[in-house]
Structure 1
Amino acid sequence: MQLTHRTAGAPVTATYWMDHAWLGTHVEPGVTLDVADGRIAGIRTGVEAPPPGATALRGLTLPGLANTHSHAFHRALRATVQVGTGTFWTWRELMYRTAAQLTPDTYFDLARATYAEMALAGITSVGEFHYLHHAPGGTPYANPNAMGEALIAAAAEAGIRITLLDTAYLAAGFGERPNRHQLRFSDTTAEAWAERASLLKGDDHTLIGAAIHSVRAVPADQLATVAAWAEEREAPLHVHLSEQTAENDACRAAHGRTPTRLLADHGVLGPRTTGIHNTHLTEADIELLGSSATGTCMCPTTERDLADGIGPATALQKAGSPLSLGSDSHAVIDLFEEARAMELNERLRTHIRGHWTAAALLRAASADGHAALGRPDAGVLEPGAPADLTTVALDSVRTAGPVPRLAAETAVFAASAADVRHTVVAGRHIVRDGRHTRIEDVPRALATAVAALHG
């Protein structure tokens, strides 16, 4: 049986044929997808072979993946922080040392290579939680957004979309001035942050959003300024929330309430807001987040790497908080690993299997992630949606064997980033047969960019 869906009057400028496609509820064999002006113009099922002129995508084609939470410069920490013991707070000191080395040029090189790695992993959009704004010592660059614009340019060269979440980071802790490392992060006041952030401009591949680094890094009386800036622009607003119990304790000592309650009291929560981690929450916190439709971005590989803990993802979702996923510190860049880790963490915590279906986990890695980044029309294979696609091999040593109707389960619970064969963004082939089409040697680019900081 053949089904045809098409947007009226949309001229076809490219056609992809997928031998298997995930259509949100099931795997469909033999699907063609027409692209016009970077969007899906039409979808036809029941097409047994590639039509003349169509590009074949063999494997399981999914909507492009959304990496909802990224700190691009943390990619330079991979492996170097795996020596010795410690906590999040000792890891943070190593992170500060890397941040101190970056310039707009070296940041561009590192981010370009990191975003290319994301493209190779099937990621078509990234949420960059950006707080490294100024020169060492806190002196603004001649272009006050030189670092943010370097990230935007890096994403463009790597071929992926970016939501630059320009971050207010004003204090070292409750009532504490920024330390010497944090001077690069601080605009001094939320008003000064808003003035600088307002100079940033989006484009076809870029959205500009806002972030509150955390309740310890933005004084309570300035939270509303950041929230209002985002609200006026209908922009996404993200915030690190209750990642560490020490932050919760300090917030209670300073304000007599939890970080979630503090954010609620200052108008930060809402459907365009996403809490990152949301690890150590009370039942009342969960209710506040769910009832306000505030999203939750889980970053399981980072949360386990930093010994943060396991957040109450099932309770948050049941309360009404949409779930998305991020690779955060880039201990690995693999959204399939993030998706299955969220499920497997719950199994370890509860001794029960099957908290989310493969479909639900794919939605967290795609549609709900894109929505958290300000693109609610992305992350689906439907006419009118952005033509962003990810194709996963079904014949690798990890994915071979299961029948095609279980391809979604295979992708989520067995595949890795190494199994991504194609990545398409706005109809353009960014990764073809496992190779980046714009950056010839991504491993070399990564090695060179990291060496420039550690050398």
Structure 2
Amino acid sequence: MTTVPAFANCHSHVFHRALRGRITGADSFWTWRDQMYALAGVLDPDLLFDLARATYAEMHAAGIRSVGEFHYLHHRPDGRAYDDPNAMGEALIAAAREAGVRIALLDTCYLAAGFGLSTGSRSRAVEGVQQRFTDGDADAWAARVDDLARKHAGEYDVVIGAAIHSVRAVPRDQLATVAGAFPDAPLHVHVSEQPAENEECLAATGLTPVALLAEAGAWTPRTTAVHATHLTPDDVATLGDARSYVCFCPTTEAELADGIGPSVALRDAGARLTLGSDSNTVIDMFAEARAVEMHQRLASGVRGAWSAGQLWQAASSTGHESLGFAGGDLIEIEESVRTAGADEVLWAASAEDVLSTGSRSGAGSRTDAARDLQAAIDACWSRT
């Protein structure tokens, strides 16, 4: 057996796991999003717990010991708060604990449906299922998250962090409130995932998303830019100068036709790479790590931009650090991989080669996780 560092999955939308294999043929990210919203509209705390528990058990079996959950399903489908305003977040924390995975709950501020270009207003009001994402304004969001953070302060397996969903979803005059609300906690933000996002931001503000977030003071060494796919050279320099983390999610970015991000330029500028499974189309951190190098080869025509050691660091120690955790455990790889050491394992192994050690609840075997997961997915789709 080969012993290697446990993985950190730094960007997850756990409920997207129910979309795997069902949403195909959508012609762009935006049509895929419409179908994802249909799923988001049917979840309640109990069903979210069941789906998350099984998905986190799948992550545990794949060698993941820390997850950054980018969480924006806060309220009832009509926008009213649950009796416990953090019921959905608490369901995710409980699910991760039962699966034996540490969770950085990145509670996400989401206040608008987009830039108000067609109406001349600063932003468009939330609509449809987005009503359950919003707290009304950044101050109300911060107050709700502060209650959650106080409750879980000092717990070894839970970090309460903050997130800006995107520059589309948080108006310009409220970005700074979110960026500064929890100065000692991780801050994550989707940025420049799609060209249309950049174009709309430029038209509305005259700035790129990275520059707009810089204006708000968002870029610090505790901040993670998620995706960062379509950047200008100035954007790359901004993220590098801030020593921010940049989380690439290559399997999702490929599945959604997002594009190939400038991983080497960001690294050379001083940004720190982490990795995530995002929509959980694949839960395999070996695949995510390899894809950074493989995509770079496709884009450049040159091999060897990323070494195995650099990718291990991104997938483990740097990732745990970006979520507010110390380094993770060690995991063991099946002897059948037939490799000589950790570097070779990175290029050769898959999630299936991780020796499953079970979760604290005893629900960690692949068979049990698959059974529970299928039941939760079936329950989700029976409601749509």
- TM-score, with normalisation over the residues of structure 2? 0.94
Q: How does 1:230-309 map to 2 (within 5 A)?
A: 230-231=182-183, 234-309=184-259
Q: Is 2:198 the counterpart of 1:198?
A: no
Residue by residue over 1:104-133, the C-alpha shift from the partner in whole angstroms, topping out at 9 and shown as x without a partner, is 000000000000000000000000000000
Distance (whole Å) between structure 1 residues aligned to residue 62 and residue 51 of structure 2: 17
- Structure 1 stretches of 4+ with a deviation exceeding 6 A read none
C-alpha deviation, 1:422, in angstroms: 4.1
Q: Is 2:7 the counterpart of 1:65?
A: yes
Contact 1:158 1:438 in 2 (8 A): no
Aligned match for 2:124, one of 176, 183, 188: 176
Residue by residue over 1:206-254, the C-alpha shift from the partner in whole angstroms, topping out at 9 and shown as x without a partner, is 11000000011001111111111121xx000000000000000000011
What's 1:16 paired with? none
Distance (whole Å) between structure 1 residues aligned to residue 334 and residue 301 of structure 2: 31
Q: How does 1:87-102 map to 2 (within 5 A)?
A: 87-102=28-43
Distance (whole Å) between structure 2 residues aligned to residue 90 and residue 293 of structure 1: 34
Distance (whole Å) between structure 2 residues aligned to residue 139 and residue 67 of structure 1: 31
Contact 2:113 2:126 in 1 (8 A): yes
Residue by residue over 1:328-362, the C-alpha shift from the partner in whole angstroms, topping out at 9 and shown as x without a partner, is 00001000000000000000000100111111111
Q: Is 2:378 the counterpart of 1:451?
A: yes
C-alpha deviation, 1:60, in angstroms: 1.4
What's 1:54 paired with? none
C-alpha deviation, 1:430, in angstroms: 3.4
Aligned match for 1:430, one of 337, 359, 373: 359
In the alignment, residue 161 of structure 2 is paired with which amino acid? G
In the alignment, residue 87 of structure 1 is paired with which amino acid? S
What's 2:332 paired with? 391
In the alignment, residue 309 of structure 1 is paired with which amino acid? G
Distance (whole Å) between structure 2 residues aligned to residue 437 and residue 333 of structure 1: 14
Distance (whole Å) between structure 2 residues aligned to residue 191 and residue 126 of structure 1: 26
Residue by residue over 1:32-82, the C-alpha shift from the partner in whole angstroms, topping out at 9 and shown as x without a partner, is xxxxxxxxxxxxxxxxxxxxxxxxxxx111221100000000000000012
Aligned match for 1:167, one of 95, 108, 115: 108
RMSD of aligned alpha carbons:
1.4
- Decide whether aligned partners of structure 1 residues 104 and 329 sit closer, same or farther in structure 2, where only a CA change above 3 A counts: same
Distance (whole Å) between structure 2 residues aligned to residue 204 and residue 235 of structure 1: 14
C-alpha deviation, 1:181, in angstroms: 1.6
- Decide whether aligned partners of structure 1 residues 437 and 280 sit closer, same or farther in structure 2, where only a CA change above 3 A counts: closer
Distance (whole Å) between structure 2 residues aligned to residue 215 and residue 335 of structure 1: 28
What's 2:288 paired with? 338
Please, which runs of 5 or more residues in structure 1 have no aligned partner?
1-58, 380-387, 424-428
What's 1:378 paired with? 327
What's 1:120 paired with? 61
Greater relative contact order structure (CA < 8 Å, 6+ sep): 2
What's 1:187 paired with? 135
C-alpha deviation, 1:394, in angstroms: 3.1
In the alignment, residue 344 of structure 2 is paired with which amino acid? T
Distance (whole Å) between structure 2 residues aligned to residue 192 and residue 307 of structure 1: 35
C-alpha deviation, 1:204, in angstroms: 2.5
Contact 1:158 1:439 in 2 (8 A): no
Q: Is 2:374 the counterpart of 1:441?
A: no
In the alignment, residue 136 of structure 1 is paired with which amino acid? P
Distance (whole Å) between structure 2 residues aligned to residue 438 and residue 120 of structure 1: 7
Larger helix fraction of residues: 2
> Size of the alignment, in residue pairs?
370
C-alpha deviation, 1:196, in angstroms: 0.6
What's 1:81 paired with? 23
What's 1:141 paired with? 82
In the alignment, residue 409 of structure 1 is paired with which amino acid? D
In the alignment, residue 63 of structure 1 is paired with which amino acid? P
Q: How does 1:15-34 map to 2 (within 5 A)?
A: none
- Decide whether aligned partners of structure 1 residues 360 and 436 sit closer, same or farther in structure 2, where only a CA change above 3 A counts: farther
Please, which runs of 5 or more residues in structure 2 have no aligned partner?
116-122
What's 1:216 paired with? 168
Three-state SS of the structure 2 residue aligned to 1:139 is coil
What's 2:303 paired with? 353
Three-state SS of the structure 2 residue aligned to 1:61 is strand
Distance (whole Å) between structure 2 residues aligned to residue 394 and residue 260 of structure 1: 45
- TM-score, with normalisation over the residues of structure 1? 0.79
Residue by residue over 1:301-344, the C-alpha shift from the partner in whole angstroms, topping out at 9 and shown as x without a partner, is 00000000000001001101000000000001000000000000
Three-state SS of the structure 2 residue aligned to 1:181 is helix
In the alignment, residue 323 of structure 1 is paired with which amino acid? L
Distance (whole Å) between structure 1 residues aligned to residue 113 and residue 345 of structure 2: 41
Three-state SS of the structure 1 residue aligned to 2:127 is coil
Distance (whole Å) between structure 1 residues aligned to residue 354 and residue 177 of structure 2: 42
Distance (whole Å) between structure 2 residues aligned to residue 438 and residue 392 of structure 1: 15
Contact 2:61 2:365 in 1 (8 A): no
In the alignment, residue 261 of structure 1 is paired with which amino acid? A
Distance (whole Å) between structure 2 residues aligned to residue 100 and residue 71 of structure 1: 15
Larger strand fraction of residues: 1
Distance (whole Å) between structure 2 residues aligned to residue 438 and residue 88 of structure 1: 33
